[in-house]
Chain A
Amino acid sequence: MALLLEQLLNGVQLGVMLFLLAAGLTLVFGIMGVINLAHGSLYMVGAYAAAVTASATGSAILSLLAGLVAAAAVGMALEYVVLRRLYARDHLDQVLATFGLILFFNQGMVLLFGRQPLFVDVPEALQGFVRVLPGIDYPVYRLVIIAIGLMVAFGLYWLIQRTRIGMLVRAGATHREMVRALGVDVRLLYTLVFGLGALLAGLAGLMAGPILSVQPGMGEQILITTFVVVVIGGIGSVRGALFGAVLVGVVDTMLRAYVPGLLREVMAGSEADALGAGLASMGVYLLMALVLLVKPRGLFPAHA
């Protein structure tokens, strides 16, 4: 029971991270119609910037700022230099150009910081455990991640549903040409939305630092899972991204926690662990296939 609750929280925590990435990806796609494979690179940039700042200054606040600023700045620069030219192109060109960007960023990080993973400590104020239920202690840091993720979800909801910018974003997603015709500076809007997506990716990256290792290629691992989230949730829908992310996070964590144990009942230990890990990694893709069979456009299609 204690283990189950702990794994459930771990799942939600993974889900929240996935949501931060999926929200940016789905917004950028919903509004600009661009599929951005390099979204994972922005996550990596955020993680690296925070990790390097943390080891140089030891300040958690500074490293938070560094991660956010670096990801948003790199994101907007990327939009300005490359992605802006891809809006009118088909998906194939977008995939290829951003695939090239991934190679560039991953190898760039190897050049700058080497292949060795960087390890980041949990900020001092967030170390330790908190008793969530009698007899169950849970790391404060992971609870903070969940809290931040939920805050971001509410913030995004407010931004998109209640503000003028959000109105433009929604309008841009449904009738791009009309918004442009009404005299809105669509280019600026696009850059801002892209920057917001990059910022969220950077936030996910810098929070992931102390939990996972910071290394080149870290972005793609999670990016592909994020794709699963976006497809399950429905492309272009932020609400779908949230539900999809938590669903995928919990299912993935549960499978990883319990499948090897179940397999160990029927086969040798080490082999069961390897096969279990493999089957658990496949689980979310099977979930996606299942959702697609029932609802080909995802659980919460944006423009139904």
Chain B
Amino acid sequence: MRNLWRDERSWTVLLLVLAAFIPVVAPMLDSPATTGLATRIAIYAIAASSLNLLLGQGGLVSFGHAAYFGLGGYVVGILYAHWSSGDPFLGLIPGSNDLLVTMPLAILVGGLGAAIIGALSLRTAGVQFIMITLAFAQMLFFLFVSLQAYGGDDGLAIRRVAPVLGMNLRDPATLYWICLGLLALWLFLMDRVTRSRFGRVLAGVRQGERRMAAIGIRTYLYKLVAFVIAGMGAAMAGALMVNYARFVSPDMMHWTKSGELMVMVILGGLGTLVGPVLGAAALVGLEYTLSGLTEHWQFVLGPILVVIVLFARGGLMGAVRRIAGPPALHNAQPLPPAELPPAKPVPESAAHG
């Protein structure tokens, strides 16, 4: 078991190091757009990895993860709007265009949103949980659509971003390295979290919540903390995305975005460290390629997703393991989805133990 973890971590590092050369190599290969694409992948990888903490580790199928992604984005957007207009938010909080200010605030707001939505949603389990997280995300979507002061449906543009520690965020390569660095930091954090006592309890909740409750663990709190951590990660990704696209709109929290994040996690490999990163790369790459071929790329992507879910168990990481996997590693494979017990609503009394 230790071997494999060491394996996965070491080639996560390798992957990140290789990825760091993209802005150097891309112009040589005459495809400067690659850096932008890689930035998007790095940002989505953070969001997908944060969702993986819920889906893969905790077995909590949250279908509203784009809400926190969008919340993070809107914190940056709204603070920028107040910075450029000069009047403070709610008459109290001055605006800002400094990422060092806006990003921590975005993470805070994302965590706060996740705490509120999570506290309510986690009263349920199974299908209800899926539907409720989706519904709350949709509620936030409608709220931001209706906020005319912040662009409503059309969203907000962010024109001038202050340099961060002397680095110009307008430069694609600089922004990419910042995103990649934060991705590395986030993956390190996720690795620590999943192997901590907290992570073990979370995995226990996935495998049998009643059992965890029976040995005296308040599963509700563990799930809520996981929910908040995941929300913070998604909000950080959202803040980065707004800095990259220089634009924020309710589309960031549309329910299809939540679906895409789930697809990334599954595509890459549920419950693995590097899987969500591979999944993000695969989905962004697939969308980019297909949309270059046809305007109706979703018509092709849809069936591809169905086929992947039906026949390719374990995602890309599963495939990598099947090719490379000597029998010795077999035991250490994370649970394939079929072995995840279909979440049954746990009686309230048990859940709160």
* Residue interface bits B291-328, CB-to-A below 8 A is 1, else 0: 00000111101111110011000000000000000000
Contact of B152 among A33, A110, A220, A274 (CB under 8 A): A274
**A279 touching B305 by the CB < 8 A rule?**
no
Does A89 reach chain B (CB closer than 8 Å)? yes
Stretch touching chain B among A66-74, A128-136, A169-177, A280-288:
A280-288
A101/B120 contact (C-beta < 8 A), A93-B309, A285-B136, A296-B348 known: no
CB proximity to B under 8 Å, residues A234-281: 235, 270-271, 274-279, 281
Q: Of the 9-residue stretches B84-92, B139-147, B167-175, B225-233, which lies at the interface with chain A?
A: B139-147
Q: Which of B128, B143, B296, B309 contacts A110 (CB 8 A)?
A: B296
Q: Give the distance in Å from the alpha carbon of A271 to the alpha carbon of B149 in the complex.
A: 8
Contact, CB under 8 Å: A90 / B337: yes
**Alpha-carbon gap, A100 to B138, bound state (A):** 19
Find out whether the CB atom of B299 lies under 8 angstroms from the CB atom of A107.
yes
User: What chain A residues lie within 8 Å of B340 (beta carbons)?
Assistant: 90, 92
- Which among B255, B266, B338 is the interface contact of A224 at CB below 8 angstroms? B255
Query: Which single member of B55, B266, B299 contacts A104 (CB below 8 Å)?
Result: B299
Interface residue B130 (Cβ < 8 Å from any Cβ of A): yes
Q: Are A82 and B338 in contact (CB under 8 A)?
A: no
- Given known contacts A95-B262, A99-B259, A270-B148, A235 and B127 CB-to-CB distance under 8 angstroms: yes
A99-B123 contact in complex given A107-B298, A107-B302, C-beta closer than 8 Å: no
**At the interface, yes or no: B131 with Cβ under 8 Å from chain A?**
yes
How many angstroms from the CA of A289 to the CA of B117 in the assembled complex?
Answer: 9
Interface-forming stretch among A52-60, A180-188, A191-199, A225-233?
Answer: A225-233
Interface membership of B103, Cβ < 8 A: no
Complex Cα gap A91–B305 (Å) = 15
B342 within 8 A of A: yes
* Nearest Cβ on chain A to B331's Cβ, whole angstroms: 22
When the two chains form their complex, are residues A106 and B147 in contact, meaning their CB atoms are under 8 A apart? Answer: no
CB pair B309–A292 under 8 Å, yes or no, is: no
A66 to B161, CA, bound (A): 56
In the bound complex, residues from chain B placing their C-beta under 8 Å from that of A111 are 296, 299
The minimal Cβ–Cβ distance linking B175 to chain A, given in whole angstroms, is 30
CB distance A230 to B131 under 8 Å?
yes
Q: For the complex, give the distance between the alpha carbons of A220 and B123 in Å.
A: 25
- 1/0 contact string of B327-352 vs chain A (CB within 8 Å): 00000000001101111010010000
Mask of B249-268 contacts with A, CB within 8 angstroms, 1/0: 00000010001001100100
Interface-central residue, A93, A235, A279, A292, by most chain B CB under 10 Å: A93
Q: Total interface residues on A, using CB and 8 Å?
A: 53
- List the B side residues contacting A80 at CB < 8 Å: none
Q: Indicate whether B12 reaches chain A with its CB closer than 8 angstroms.
A: no
**Bitwise interface map of A from 6 to 48 toward B, beta carbon under 8 Å scored 1, else 0:** 0000000000000000000000010001010000000000000
Closest to A230 in B: B131
Q: Is the beta-carbon distance between A104 and B135 smaller than 8 angstroms?
A: no
Q: Enumerate chain A residues within 8 angstroms of B348, measured Cβ to Cβ.
A: 296
Tally chain B residues at the interface, Cβ within 8 Å: 51
B309 touches A108 (CB 8 A): no
How close is A31's CB to chain B, nearest CB, in angstroms?
Answer: 13
A105: chain B residues within 8 A (beta carbon): 302
Q: Residue among A29, A227, A288 with the most chain B CB within 10 A?
A: A227
Please tell me if the beta carbons of A101 and B135 are within 8 angstroms of each other in the complex.
Answer: no
A107 to chain B, nearest CB (A): 4
A292 touches B152 (CB 8 A): no
User: In the assembled complex, which residues on chain B have CB atoms less than 8 Å from the CB atom of A33?
Assistant: 342
Distance in angstroms between the alpha carbons of A82 and B307 in the assembled complex: 9
Q: Which residues of B contact A126 (CB under 8 A)?
A: none
Q: Which residue of B lies closest to A236 (CB)?
A: B127
Complex interface: chain A residues within 8 A of B262 (CB): 92, 95-96, 99
Q: Is the CB of B131 within 8 A of A99?
A: no
The docked-state distance in angstroms from the alpha carbon of A285 to that of B259 is 19
Q: Is the CB of A82 within 8 A of B310?
A: yes
Cβ–Cβ < 8 Å partners of A164 in chain B: none
Return B346 CB to nearest CB of chain A, in Å.
10
B131 and chain A: residue at smallest CB distance: A227
Closest B residue, CB atoms, query A224: B138
Q: Residue B126 at the A interface, CB < 8 A?
A: yes
Question: A99 touching B263 by the CB < 8 A rule?
Answer: yes
Once the chains bind, are B337 and A289 in contact (CB under 8 Å)?
A: no
Known: A82-B310, A89-B337. A281 touches B146 (CB 8 A): yes
Instruction: Report the 7 A-B pairs with minimum CB-CB distance, sorted nearest first.
Output: A278-B146, A100-B305, A104-B302, A103-B302, A285-B139, A281-B142, A107-B299
Q: Which residues of B contact A (CB under 8 A)?
A: 55, 61, 63, 120, 123-124, 126-128, 130-132, 134-136, 138-139, 142-143, 145-149, 152, 255, 259, 262-263, 266, 270, 296-299, 301-306, 309-310, 337-338, 340-343, 345, 348
A-B contact pairs, 18 of them (CB 8 A): A90-B343, A91-B343, A93-B266, A99-B259, A100-B302, A104-B302, A104-B303, A227-B134, A231-B135, A271-B149, A274-B146, A274-B152, A276-B146, A281-B146, A285-B138, A288-B135, A296-B345, A296-B348
